[in-house]
Chain A
Amino acid sequence: MHAVPVPVEDVVGDGRWMSQHQRFLIQAKGREPEVVFIGDSIIQLMRFSSHYKSFLEPMHCLNFGIGSDQTQHVLWRIINGELDCVQPKVIVLEVGTNNHDHSADQVVGGIMEIVRVTQDKQPSAQLIVMGIPPRGEKPNPVREKIATINKDLLKKLSGTPNVTFINIEPSMFINEDGLISHKDMYDYLHMTDDGYKKFCEPLQEEIQNLSQNFIKVENISQDMQSINEVLASDTP
């Protein structure tokens, strides 16, 4: 079920999923993040990209991504404490690409349920929901399903207070021939460092806008006047 919280079953017998969840609970209790990322491998692997290290890590983040997670797994983790002790300004969610047994409608339903529970736990945080990136080297039915999901999320989430939906422009990864390059996604699903550079730019901008914290751009609490001077005189 896409919208009923369910933990991942330890089929293999090494308990890795639960270990990660437990580690996240400890981190949530001990740290004071301003930004929390949660979702599947696309979120999880982001923390190893150079863009994340340069631009996102300075914002004091926690990354609760787990590879292969589907909507019902992320839902379970949120309900079972991963957003309990923290007080972030921004929460970033990306999930849905692994819900292979569910229809587009069901995936949207799962994501909407996550949005509802997250806002319930963290009513004053700004929630950024990311669209699902395309996958597969060539055009394929999964890409169509993802496009449908993103379109539906855009409709359902626009106008929701405290929620921002960042859609994925198809041209970000898909070229005119309809192909995705291995230079952006080494296995046509997971992103390379270059792929993450493209993916994270709109995300980084939104996070900074929402938290009113622009790194490396002069101390924002004072001196905004000198910034205006600099930006205004920037020749096009």
Chain B
Amino acid sequence: MVINHKIQVTMVLSQRQREELNRAIADYLSTNGYCNALTEFQKEADMPGDIDKKYAGLLEKKWTSVIRLQKKVMDLEAKLSEAEKEFHTGGPARDRRSPAEWIPRPPERYALSGHRSPVTRVIFHPVFSIMVSASEDATIKLWDFETGDYERTLKGHTDSVQDIAFDHTGKYLASCSADMSIKLWDFQAYDCVKTLHGHDHNVSSVTFVPSGDFVVSSSRDKTIKMWEVATGYCVKTYTGHREWVRMVRVYHDGSLLASCSNDQNKKGARSGPFLLSGSRDKNIKMWDVSVGLCLFSLIGHDNWIRGLVFHPGGKYVLSASDDKTLRIWDIKNKRNQKTLDAHQHFVTSIDMHRSAPYVITGSVDQTVKVWECR
């Protein structure tokens, strides 16, 4: 999820803006007694001698406007959040919308506390009405997302749990941690059945291949490893990234691995379909992996992107960000359809159920929230 795109920042002023800026500079020079500079400036910028009163103090005002705008935006967002809490039907009536258009609505159905540190990842169980959260408090917690009940805690890791994943049957959960290990948990007995050692640093991502026979992990040690579930052995190590490999995911037909890294590269193993990535540059990008091209960008978040998920209906992308919001993006029109103020702090993770109308988010505020879609 963490890729930094290098983009040139160029400030482009229109002719009108340039003239206005010159006049504001002239007023500033005049007001502050820089007479010689003013005369020369007016000559070189080819400006009339007298300065329109409307530019009085304009440069200083514009100079401080960023701070003023930020404060205003903060206030407005707080007011909007309050207003939305009182009026939570929002949008056309439920029966007039198809399930493919059901999106999460505030306020949250449940806000679940229990973790004693930031929540790093939240995922749905593929079969049961269970969701699982991982946290920097080194535990994994299970919750019923329909009732909001806490079910149990899986203990065993000795440092922050960074990522969790189910195999497609939901019989096994894989977890990886800053303690450099990967654990496999039996989801019937809720036991840790294997601990995989081999990475030399924080393991930040883990996922099953579609067959469930292998797990793939990525680490701050710059490698990706493939592990055989039956034996617990590491059968392959992929090198190639020059920095921490933040995340790795497997394509649904098993043919392709996607990984992203602090070295700002993404790699696809072979030609294939589409990949969605989110980055610390605040952008979400859609890529055609076969040609390695960015098809479009989704812009709007104010901070690092931390989680992405496709809406099962295929029309939307949902994202979670350090700007404390959950956003819904219309893929066809490439725009931010809706923004929810989701948490009190960075939102670190988001998942959407493949068939039931629920979205879950996890946050540095140590809570897990369940959102109903309608």
Quick check: is A20 within 8 A (CB to CB) of the other chain?
no
Q: Which residues 299-318 in B have Cβ within 8 Å of A in the complex?
A: 299-304
Chain B facing A: main interface SS: loop
Q: B67–A204 contact, CB under 8 A?
A: yes
CA distance A231 to B67 in the complex (A): 12
A residues in contact with B302, CB < 8 Å:
58, 215-216, 219
Nearest residue, chain B, Cβ from A212 = B9
Among A60, A214, A221, which residue has the most Cβ atoms of chain B within 10 A? A221
Specify which of A54, A57, A224, A231 is in contact with B12 (CB 8 Å cutoff): A224
Quick check: is A217 within 8 A (CB to CB) of the other chain?
yes
Q: Which residues 6-22 in B have Cβ within 8 Å of A in the complex?
A: 7, 9-14, 16-17, 20
Chain B's nearest CB lies how many Å from the CB of A217? 6
Binding site for A on B (CB under 8 A): 5, 7, 9-14, 16-17, 20, 54, 57-58, 61-62, 65-67, 69-70, 73-74, 160, 178, 202, 281-283, 297, 299-304, 322-324, 345
Chain A's nearest CB lies how many Å from the CB of B199? 15
Known: A204-B67, A221-B281, A231-B66. 18 other contacts (CB 8 A): A30-B178, A205-B66, A205-B67, A214-B70, A216-B69, A216-B70, A219-B282, A219-B283, A221-B5, A221-B283, A222-B283, A224-B9, A228-B14, A231-B62, A232-B17, A236-B54, A236-B57, A236-B61
Q: Which residues 43-84 in A have Cβ within 8 Å of B in the complex?
A: 54-55, 57-58, 60
CA distance A225 to B16 in the complex (A): 13
Known: A219-B300, A224-B10. A58 touches B74 (CB 8 A): no
28 contacts between A and B (CB under 8 A): A54-B74, A55-B70, A57-B345, A58-B302, A58-B322, A205-B66, A215-B302, A215-B303, A216-B69, A216-B302, A217-B66, A217-B73, A219-B299, A222-B297, A223-B299, A224-B9, A224-B11, A224-B12, A228-B12, A228-B13, A230-B69, A231-B62, A231-B65, A231-B69, A232-B17, A232-B20, A234-B61, A236-B61
CA distance A54 to B74 in the complex (A): 8
Q: A60–B304 contact, CB under 8 A?
A: yes
Q: B67–A201 contact, CB under 8 A?
A: yes
A residues in contact with B10, CB < 8 Å:
224
Q: B11–A228 contact, CB under 8 A?
A: yes
Q: Which residues 183-236 in A have Cβ within 8 Å of B in the complex?
A: 201, 204-205, 208, 212, 214-217, 219-225, 228, 230-232, 234, 236
Known: A30-B178, A208-B66, A232-B20. A221 touches B9 (CB 8 A): yes
CA distance A42 to B133 in the complex (A): 36
B residues in contact with A214, CB < 8 Å:
66, 70
